[in-house]
Amino acid sequence: MRWVIAAVFLAAALLTGVLVGPVDLGVLTVVQATFAHIVGLHSPLSGADDAILWQLRLPRVVLGALVGGTLAAAGAAYQGVFRNPLADPYLLGAAAGAGLGATLVVAFTSGSGDLLPPAAFIGASVAVVAAYVLGRSAGAAAGPAALVLAGVTVTSFFTAMQIFVQQQHVQTVQQIYSWLLGRLSTAGWHEVAIIAPYAAVSWVILLGHRRLLDVLAVGDDEAAALGVNVGRVRLLVVVAATIATAAAVAVSGLIAFVGIIVPHTIRLLVGGSYRLLLPLSVIVGAGFLVFADVIARTVMSPAELPIGVVTAFFGAPFFAVVLRTSRRTA
């Protein structure tokens, strides 16, 4: 039953995302036209309406689903591997690294759209690698706490560098913050093609390790006694979640709280087993971000609200509730 509910939620989000807009396309016509494009048949829509569906709405909805599912799965994975319910996809400095990469592109290349996604991806990857190397330098005995502290250190350093660059190029501040607040407004099939392979690979790895994450929940020593290579599992999960997060950030900017809201909501409904938590996080996270994007582009229509503002509006109070609950159960 839980799988049916999750699938219906995602389907409703996708259909809503495609239908909402100033031009009414009709439910049945949208479904028929989408099917026609997939199988290579003639679309029932006129030229302009077909372009609105296939070139504007569908890629934006698909991108939102990919980003949402990726961030939710990464958040759940980080929470499992670090045994920290407040961990999120940006824990190891991915956000700060991506922000610095994007800032450098905007400041020194006049905000070239082609260079921004790879620069954000590289920045996020470099930051996480630096955090992992720094955390490992503390020794295996330090455990996952060392990686968390290393992530905080790297985040602070990269954020300081970003602020320094912004101060040297104050004319780019508005453009930088427009990207940092998250957006799907420029989404096209090109952005979908960028994130899709990374999302697919990361989902396969994370879902393949979901049972081992349940074992890690009992503690490193106990998991090792059961035959689990704790270091290998932790490295693979962190790498997969980080690559997915970096790809998501590269095409959508920084969208906060998805990796906290979705996994914790699922925990409340079905429990904390990663056997269910990870696949449901992918499905529900995809639907959640598509719905958030619908709100972002309609609440101030014809203007658009940054999608990061919408997720923060829901996420900030949710985070406070999680923090208070964690304190009571500690």
HEC letters along the chain: CHHHHHHHHHHHHHHHHHHCCCCCCCHHHHHHHHHHHHHCCCCCCCHHHHHHHHHHHHHHHHHHHHHHHHHHHHHHHHHHHCCCCCCCCCCCCHHHHHHHHHHHHHHHCCCCCCCHHHHHHHHHHHHHHHHHHHHHCCCHHHCHHHHHHHHHHHHHHHHHHHHHHHHHCHHHHHHHHHHHCCCCCCCCHHHHHHHHHHHHHHHHHHHHCHHHHHHHCCCHHHHHHCCCCHHHHHHHHHHHHHHHHHHHHHHHCCCCCHHHHHHHHHHHHHCCCHHHHHHHHHHHHHHHHHHHHHHHHHCCCCCCCCHHHHHHHHHHHHHHHHHHHHHHHC
pLDDT for the residue numbered 112: 57
pLDDT for the residue numbered 141: 57
Containing domain of residue 90, as a range? Answer: 2-329
CATH number at residue 261: 1.10.3470.10
Output the CA–CA distances (angstroms, integers) from residue 25 to 8, 97, 287, in the order listed.
Answer: 21, 40, 21
The total number of structural domains that make up the chain: 1
Instruction: Match 């996994």 to its residue by tokens.
Output: 263
pLDDT for the residue numbered 291: 96
Q: What is the pLDDT along the chain (330 residues), one digit of tens a residue?
A: 899 999 999 999 999 999 998 888 888 888 888 888 888 788 888 888 888 898 889 999 999 999 999 999 999 999 998 887 778 888 888 889 988 988 888 888 865 567 878 888 899 889 988 998 898 887 655 667 788 889 899 999 999 999 899 888 888 777 777 777 888 876 689 889 989 999 999 999 999 999 999 998 888 888 888 888 988 998 899 889 988 888 888 888 889 889 989 998 998 889 889 999 999 999 999 999 999 999 999 998 888 888 989 998 888 788 777 667 665 554
Contact 295, 108 (CB under 8 A): no
CA 157 from chain centre, in angstroms, equals 22
Nearest to 80 by CA among 207, 244, 252, 182: 207
What is the C-alpha separation between 52 and 29, in angstroms, rounded? 13
What is the C-alpha separation between 242 and 16, in angstroms, rounded? 30
Tokens standing for 289?
A: 């971000």
Contact 248, 195 (CB under 8 A): yes
